[in-house]
Amino acid sequence: MKGFVMEQVRVRFAPSPTGYLHIGGARTAIYNWLFAKKHNGTFILRIEDTDAERSTQDSIQGILDGLKWLGMEWDEGPYFQSANLNAHRQAAQLLLESGHAYKCFCTKEELEAKKEAAIASKQAYKYDRTCRNLSPEEIARKEQAGIPYVVRFKIPDMQESLIFNDLVYGPIERKYEDIEDFVILRSDGSPLYLLSNAVDDINDRITHVIRGQDGLANTPRQILIYKALGAKLPQFAHMPLTLDLQKRKISKRTHGEVVSVQFYREKGFLPWALVNFLALLGWHTSDDREIFSKQELIDAFSLEGVSRSNSIFNYTPGDAKFFTDPKAISINAHYIKTMPLNELEPWVNAVLKAADIFDETFLTTQKAWYYSTIDLIRQRFHTLNDFATLGAAYFSDNFPMDSKALQKNVLKHPQLTEWLPQLAERMERLDSWTLETTEKAVRDFIAERNIASGTLINAIRTVVTGQSVGPGLFECLVIIGKDRTTARLKNTPTLF
RNA sequence: GGUCCCAUCGUCUAGUGGUCUAGGACGCUGGCCUCUCACGCCGGAAACAGGGGUUCGAACCCCCUUGGGACCGCCA
């Protein structure tokens, strides 16, 4: 970067608020955010709410909440495109005056007929430029007559191609003759997306337009707008799309909640785990790293690592084992089991509170115990919610009893109604409550009565934790404590 | 239909002419560990879409075919 002054990077995420924040949009936001952070630039949020019909306040709020939850904080905005209508109209006026645009009086019916005719004769349809060469007199007459008109952009009449270098896809070429004189202003004077979006990007001094690949086809036309307006061109970078296993674009309509960011929040995802997963869906480094801290990801990120082929969100509806892409769950589990306990703790607090099994003493007098407990059980958890479900028995006496576990490990052995209370009495007399003393008590009991050790151990686990699986039994007992353990063992007969 | 883009294990991908009998991760799977389930560790199955070139040599370069996707609104 020596020899010239690096321009201050400004990027934006510009969603239209017509639904919740979905993972494809979130990924685009993440890439923009990473690019901004990487280059000490500015990340701008712009809500493109000019479609009043479909835009909703709920949706705007959902996008804001989703981005905040993910940690994708913006430096400027949110700006609202609807606030810039005048600037868009002025730009159109400017284009009209400079001869880069013209008024088109063709009616929708006329255009529709031409389009159908083109399709019928298997010709590619493109506006035939009927109004492009209207004389000033004709234009004045039509206007006088009150004939409504749209404003169309005048594509340069050249044989060459428009070429631009996409930072992800490389050189993209489009012949001028293949581009239609597109509409930039409706007959009611309101601007269209292609214009609004470009004008806003110019006004926001965006240096890098990082967006989904569906914007690739719009780019040549927007470049033409930039040029006609005399604006400096930004760099363009298009991201591959996220498809489902049938290679369809993911959408709420066909995929439901699983593609919304909110879903992952509710399912017990750590926001950074989702960010990490999404960043990897279509981007990679050339080494084998897949787990990145925030700073590591910022340092490693580069547009060059973005792949050009669409990536598939590996989700199978109705999968009994995986409620979303298995890799996403795997990454979430990885963070849960490896992150520093003091960072994990607040997330656990939240789910326990939501399940109404949180106790304020967990953070005061019982803090050491609380941390040990989290540390003990997190190894086999995949989501934060597991702490409140599979882990409930460690935090509260109000825990669910897994019916299969009960059936298999307890109800099959009626003698447990006597054994477990007897064992409880013996354990109550223990002077200390450690791995060694609890194990000795149980092993002695087993030896005295000649019980199969697995039978008793599994039964104890089920009665005490409500689960057939979990950490080593004695570690469980030590963590759960003497009082709770013995009380639950004594309670065994009521389970029958 | 037109224009543009893409193509390595099931999925995310490494790979930019020789080091590729194609590497990693998730998932699947065999084993070890073990009171259970995980974790962990050690293994396994699993891919260069097809065909032509170019080259001493091609996953990598070129062409064609096939397949997939995007865009083609007075939506954004």
pLDDT digits (tens, 9 = 90+) for A288-330: 899 999 999 999 999 999 999 999 999 998 888 899 999 999 9
- For A419, the enclosing helix (H) or strand (E) is helix A416-428
* ipTM entry: 0.95
Catalytic residue among A252, A337, A482, A490: A252
If you ran DSSP here, which 8-state letter would residue A365 be given? T
The pair of structure tokens assigned to A91 is 């730009």
Give the separation between CA A419 and CA A456, rounded to whole angstroms: 9
Given a contact cutoff of 8 angstroms between Cβ atoms, the answer to whether A477 and A434 are in contact is no
Give the separation between CA A415 and CA A15, rounded to whole angstroms: 64
Question: CB of A332 under 7 A from strand B?
Answer: no
Question: CB of A44 under 7 A from strand B?
Answer: no
pLDDT at A3: 36
Residue A444 reports pLDDT greater than 70: yes
Q: Where is average pLDDT lowest: A20-29, A61-70, A117-126, A155-164?
A: A117-126
Radius of gyration for chain A, computed over Cα atoms and rounded to the nearest angstrom:
32
Q: Provide φ and ψ at A352, rounded to 5°.
A: -70, -40
Global confidence as pTM: 0.94
Give the separation between CA A42 and CA A12, rounded to whole angstroms: 8
Edge-to-edge strands, sheet with A208-212: A170-175, A161-166, A235-239, A208-212
Given a contact cutoff of 8 angstroms between Cβ atoms, the answer to whether A357 and A348 are in contact is no
Question: CB of A48 under 7 A from strand B?
Answer: yes
Dihedral sign of CA atoms A492, A494, A495, A496 in order: positive
Q: How many helices, marked H, and strands, marked E, lie in chain A?
A: 22, 12
Nucleotides of strand B within 7 Å of the protein's CB atoms? 1-8, 10-15, 23-28, 35-39, 68-76
Please state the rounded mean pLDDT for residues A91-117. Answer: 92
pLDDT at A6: 63
Sequence-separated (6 or more) residues with CB below 8 Å from residue A304: A167
Question: CB of A107 under 7 A from strand B?
Answer: yes
If you ran DSSP here, which 8-state letter would residue A471 be given? S
Q: How confident is the model at residue A2 (pLDDT cuts 50, 70, 90)?
A: very low
pLDDT tens digits, residue range A327-341?
Answer: 999 999 999 999 999
User: Cis ω on the peptide bond leading into residue A78 (within 30° of 0)?
Assistant: yes
pLDDT tens digits, residue range A232-247?
Answer: 999 999 999 999 998 8
Given a contact cutoff of 8 angstroms between Cβ atoms, the answer to whether A200 and A173 are in contact is no
pLDDT at A1: 40
Give the separation between CA A249 and CA A247, rounded to whole angstroms: 7
- Residue A252 designated active-site: yes
Residue A77 reports pLDDT greater than 90: no
Q: One-letter amino acid identity for A151?
A: V
Question: CB of A167 under 7 A from strand B?
Answer: no
The widest CA-to-CA distance across chain A, in whole angstroms, is: 111
Strands (E), A6-80: 10-13, 42-47, 76-80
Closest nucleotide (CA of A288 to C1')? B24
